């Protein structure tokens, strides 16, 4: 196996508050290979966006990385000073955020923002930078790129703006792109366009992607592997096909069953009772046990780590080696 | 109960919004008046106990239809008949309260549609008090009325899967899914026959969405409710509806039974929408990539408004606006389907 491009080891993110320290991410480990698309899926509050923010070094204070490490291309990046991280962000790790209107500066033309990004990270002249900017806009499928480069973000529609944001993320040819819910604010028909664009461009540019989303459909369409997050931890991680067709963790089973299917009729959807716990009240043992239909004694007291389960890895005692031996 | 006639009938419903610049700008800068035809000649009917879903992308006018139906907007043109009564007139007359009791609405955002300063008991109890549904005051004491109100609220909360003790809490103490259940309990308080649900689950996570959809289906079965269900999510629509109407730029382009629409979509826009849904099970289904974007509703294309994005458009589509016609059991507004080209 080739060396991982991004390696996250035992990452723990905390938010100190007046009353207590909230642990938002706990013991999160995964890696992304060069050119791979890893999906990170979960419900609101599972910590998926926070994982992305920790990687690009944009955790909002008072949030902080309390333990663990993040390695990019073999080099530790979680403890870099702000300026050093700024050089990596954009140059080596690009970012795409959910709302394309707030991630573009409304006062600058699209071209100026692209040229600025290109010149910040690459040693090219103004003319060359502009030429590259036009080429990027063309690649992202913006019609009449030569004219539209001098327009302002408000003159673009939502889908077109997200294309500009993708162009910006790709501007300095990064090796990794962290895309946080890139299609959530868009209509389905536009979402399909943006997803296929993102997939094609990353392949052409050889960029790996960490795609954060709550939409299992988008994951299925796009990713090679997927990590399912629950209450700040990874519940299951594995190849997309296996996670979707034979999920090993009861939470993944519930999540898949609660999505209305397009090809079968069911009178009722499978539902997971209850809701994701709040950070102030994470249950003991496995955080999912109060909602889990298969919970047993061990789940209440002991926290499971990721373990091999069928074709994937799941953090669930059902897949413990001694359980299997007993069965 | 007359089972033959539909509960809700909508005929040629239209709503035009005036979005003109202010008078001074019109005079000084010679800007013209501008109108958006948010809903343009929409007709459908809903049978008792059934669910009609309206789908479409942002700005297609589906929420405006919902608001027109419950009377939050007055229609520019057209009629809404509820159980034989025309609602536009009735909502202005003395019969308004009785009519409003029979139809209620659930809104999209459970964070904005509940008053944060009210306890759940007050939120769910308000329609009961407003419509005089608390036990009549004939000789009873205030205490008895309060007890009856409390019992009714408890029963409503139980029907949506919340605990009676939740009545003493405030909305911020609940999660999004629980808040949406409170909205449903409030809508059910007046024992309505017809519920208009405007994207009731689109602000929720999938597992919570499943809980809310299950509750809505259970309630429909138990109480014989009729739903108008607005959504942009075709998978959800497929799960809840009996009939589906597809809207594009203020018009209904296809209206069909659910099974028919999903098995044999006729209108090119419906086909495109179905193709745009990500394929979770990776069945390798062939998909045509979606072209273009929804045009500006201020300046919609001529003829069939879908023609710039349509792979089957010809000269007639650019010039002539297609009417919603009954073709092979479904209603569809498309020249290509009418001529048998597709």
Q: Which of B240, B280, B293 to mutate to test the interface with A (most CBs of A within 10 A)?
A: B280
Range of the domain at B102: 8-248
Residues B208, A191: C-beta atoms closer than 8 Å? no
- Pairing outcome for strands A64-72 and A75-76: antiparallel
Q: Is residue B329 part of a domain?
A: no
Q: What are the structure tokens assigned to A275, written together?
A: 């809701």
Nearest Cα of chain A lies from the Cα of B74 at a distance, in angstroms, of: 28
Amino acid B288: pLDDT: 66
Position B287 scores a pLDDT of 66
Which residue out of B110, B204, B210, B220 would a mutagenesis test of the A interface target, given it has the greatest number of A Cβ atoms within 10 Å? B210
User: What is the reported pLDDT for B50?
Assistant: 93
Q: Which of B235, B289, B293 sits opposite A196 (nearest CB)?
A: B289
Q: What is the CATH number of the domain that holds B27?
A: 3.40.50.300
Tokens linked to B246:
């597809």
Whether residue B207 and residue A43 make contact (CB cut-off 8 A), yes or no, is: yes
Cβ pairs bridging A and B (under 8 Å): 118
φ, ψ dihedrals at B160, nearest 5°: -105, 15
- Asked if residue B109 belongs to a domain, the reply is yes
CB contact under 8 A, B290 and A190: yes
The reply to whether the predicted model has a pTM over 0.90 is no
User: Hey, are the CB atoms on B289 and A272 less than 8 Å from each other?
Assistant: no
> CB-based contact (8 Å) between B273 and chain A?
yes
What integer pLDDT is reported at residue B203 of this predicted model?
80
The CA distance from A146 to the nearest CA of chain B, in Å, is: 19
Q: How far is CA B255 from CA A21, A204, B324, B327, in A?
A: 54, 42, 9, 11
Task: Please check whether residue B263 lies inside any domain of the structure.
Answer: no
- Say if B74 falls within a structural domain: yes
The answer to whether B121 faces chain A, any CB pair under 8 Å, is no
CB distance B232–A266 less than 8 Å? no
A35 touches chain B (CB under 8 A): no
- Distance of CA A252 to CAs A234, A248, A262, Å? 11, 7, 19
Distances in Å between the Cα of A66 and the Cα atoms of A13, A81, A230 are: 6, 16, 19
pLDDT on residue A233: 93
Tell me how far apart the alpha carbons of residues B216 and B213 are, in angstroms, rounded to a whole number. Answer: 5
Chain B residues near residue A240 by CB distance under 8 angstroms? 282
Residues in B touching A195 (Cβ below 8 Å):
278
Q: Which residues of chain A have a CB within 8 Å of the CB of B178?
A: 275
What pLDDT, on the 0 to 100 scale, is given for residue B1? 43
Band the pLDDT of B2: cuts 50, 70, 90: very low
What tokens appear for B122 in the block?
A: 């007050």
Using the Cβ of A120 and the Cβ atoms of chain B, whether some distance falls under 8 Å is answered with no
Per-residue model confidence as pLDDT tens digits over B103-126? 999 998 888 899 999 999 999 999
pLDDT along chain A (327 residues), means of 10: 83 90 91 93 88 90 91 90 89 87 90 93 92 92 89 88 91 92 83 87 89 89 92 93 92 89 77 82 90 90 89 90 64
Contacts of residues A158-162 at CB distance under 8 Å and 24 or more positions apart, as own/partner, are A158/A100, A158/A101, A158/A185, A158/A186, A158/A187, A158/A190, A159/A186, A159/A187, A159/A190, A159/A193, A159/A194, A159/B293, A160/B293, A161/A100, A161/A101, A161/A104, A162/A96, A162/A100, A162/A186, A162/A190, A162/A194
Q: Once rounded to an integer, what is the mean pLDDT over residues B177-193?
A: 91
**Within a domain: B334:** no
- A268 at the B interface (CB within 8 A)? yes
- Nearest by CB to A259, from B206, B217, B273: name it: B206
Mean pLDDT taken over chain B: 88
Domain span(s) for CATH 3.40.50.300 in chain A = 6-223
Q: Which among B214, B239, B276 is the nearest to A191, CB-wise?
A: B276
Residues of B whose CB is below 8 A from A261: 235, 280-281
Give how far A221 is from chain B: nearest CA, Å. 6
Do strands A225-230 and A233-239 pair parallel, antiparallel, or not at all (unpaired)?
antiparallel
Let me know if residue B67 belongs to a domain.
yes
| Nearest-CB residue to B206 (from A159, A245, A255) | A255
Residue of B nearest to A255 (CA): B207
Domains identified in chain B, total number: 1
Is B65 a member of any domain?
yes
Contact B242/A at CB under 8 A: no
The shortest C-alpha distance from B98 to chain A (Å) reads: 33
* pLDDT at residue number B284: 57
Distance CA A146, CA A130 (A): 10
Chain B residues with CB under 8 Å of A157 CB are 293
For CA atoms B250, B251, B255, B261, give the dihedral sign.
negative
**Per-residue pLDDT tens digits for B283-316:** 555 666 667 778 888 888 999 999 998 988 999 9
**Nearest beta carbon to residue B279 from set A221, A260, A275:** A221
User: Given an 8 Å threshold on Cβ–Cβ distance, is B281 in contact with A267?
Assistant: no
Q: Please state which of the four CATH numbers 3.40.109.10, 3.40.50.300, 1.10.3720.10, 1.10.10.410 is assigned to the domain occupying A6-223.
A: 3.40.50.300
Q: Is B300 left (phi over 0), alpha (psi -120 to 50) or beta?
A: beta
Give A89-118 pLDDT, tens digit per residue. 989 999 998 877 788 999 999 999 999 999
Do the interacting molecules here have an ipTM over 0.95? Answer: no
Can you tell me the distance from the alpha carbon of A262 to that of B235, in angstroms, rounded to the nearest whole number? 6
- Asked whether residue B32 is domain-assigned, the answer is yes
Lookup: tokens for A224: 């090679």
- Which of A219, A275, A276 should we substitute to test contact with B (largest number of B Cβ atoms within 10 Å)? A275
């Amino acid at each position: 196996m080739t060396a991982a491009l991004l390696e996250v080891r035992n990452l723990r993110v905390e938010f100190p508050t007046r009353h207590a320290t909230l642990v938002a991410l706990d013991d999160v480990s995964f890696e992304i290979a060069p050119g791979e698309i890893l999906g990170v899926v979960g419900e609101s509050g599972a910590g998926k966006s926070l994982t992305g923010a920790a990687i690009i070094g944009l955790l909002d204070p008072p949030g902080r990385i309390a333990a663990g490490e993040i390695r990019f291309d073999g080099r530790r990046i979680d403890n870099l000073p702000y300026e050093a991280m700024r050089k990596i962000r954009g140059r080596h790790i690009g970012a795409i955020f959910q709302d394309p209107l707030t991630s573009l500066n409304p006062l600058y033309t699209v071209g100026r923002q692209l040229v600025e990004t290109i010149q910040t990270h690459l040693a090219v002249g103004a003319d060359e930078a502009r030429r590259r900017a036009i080429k990027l806009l063309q690649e992202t499928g913006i019609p009449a790129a030569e004219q539209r480069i001098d327009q302002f973000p408000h003159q673009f529609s939502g889908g077109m703006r997200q294309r500009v944001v993708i162009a910006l993320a790709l501007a300095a040819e990064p090796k990794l792109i962290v895309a946080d819910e890139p299609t959530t604010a868009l209509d389905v028909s536009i979402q399909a366009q943006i997803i296929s664009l993102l997939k094609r461009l990353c392949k052409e540019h050889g960029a790996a992607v960490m795609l954060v989303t709550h939409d299992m459909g988008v994951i299925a369409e796009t990713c090679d592997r997927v990590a399912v997050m629950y209450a700040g931890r990874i519940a299951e991680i594995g190849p997309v096909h296996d996670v979707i067709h034979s999920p090993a963790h009861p939470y993944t089973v519930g999540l898949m069953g609660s999505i209305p299917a397009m090809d079968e009729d069911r009178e009722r959807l499978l539902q997971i009772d209850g809701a994701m716990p709040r950070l102030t009240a994470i249950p003991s043992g496995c955080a999912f046990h109060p909602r889990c239909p298969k919970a047993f004694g061990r789940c209440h007291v002991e926290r499971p780590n990721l373990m091999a389960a069928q074709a994937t890895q799941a953090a669930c005692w059902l897949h413990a080696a001694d359980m299997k031996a007993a069965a | 109960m007359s089972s033959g006639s539909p509960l809700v009938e909508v005929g040629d419903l239209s709503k035009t919004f005036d979005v003109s610049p202010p008078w001074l700008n019109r005079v000084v800068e010679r800007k013209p008046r501008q109108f958006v035809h948010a809903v343009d000649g929409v007709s459908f009917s809903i049978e008792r106990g059934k669910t009609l879903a309206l789908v479409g992308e942002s700005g297609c006018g589906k929420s405006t239809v919902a608001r027109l139906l419950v009377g939050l907007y007055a229609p520019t043109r057209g009629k809404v008949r509820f159980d034989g009564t025309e609602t536009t007139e009735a909502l202005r007359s003395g019969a308004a309260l009785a009519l409003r009791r029979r139809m209620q609405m659930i809104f999209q955002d459970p964070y904005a549609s509940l008053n944060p300063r009210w306890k759940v008991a007050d939120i769910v109890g308000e329609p009961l008090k407003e419509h005089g549904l608390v036990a009549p005051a004939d000789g009873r004491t205030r205490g008895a009325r309060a007890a009856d109100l409390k019992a009714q609220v408890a029963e409503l909360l139980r029907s949506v899967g919340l605990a009676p003790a939740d009545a003493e809490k405030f909305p911020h103490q609940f999660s999004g899914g629980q808040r949406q259940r409170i909205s449903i309990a409030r809508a059910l308080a007046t024992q309505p026959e017809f519920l208009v649900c405007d994207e009731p689950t689109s602000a929720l996570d999938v597992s919570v969405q499943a809980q809310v959809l299950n509750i809505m289906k259970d309630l429909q079965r138990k109480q014989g409710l009729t739903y108008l269900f607005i959504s942009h999510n075709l998978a959800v629509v497929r799960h809840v509806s009996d009939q589906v109407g597809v809207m594009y730029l203020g018009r209904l382009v296809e209206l069909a039974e659910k099974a028919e629409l999903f098995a044999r979509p006729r209108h090119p826009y419906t086909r495109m929408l179905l193709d745009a849904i990500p394929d979770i099970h990776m069945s390798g289904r062939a998909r045509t990539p979606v072209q273009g974007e929804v045009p500006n509703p201020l300046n919609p294309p001529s003829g069939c408004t879908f023609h710039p994005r349509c792979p089957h458009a010809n000269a007639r589509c650019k010039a002539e606006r297609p009417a919603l016609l009954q073709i092979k059991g479904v209603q569809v507004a498309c020249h290509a389907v009418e001529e048998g080209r597709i």
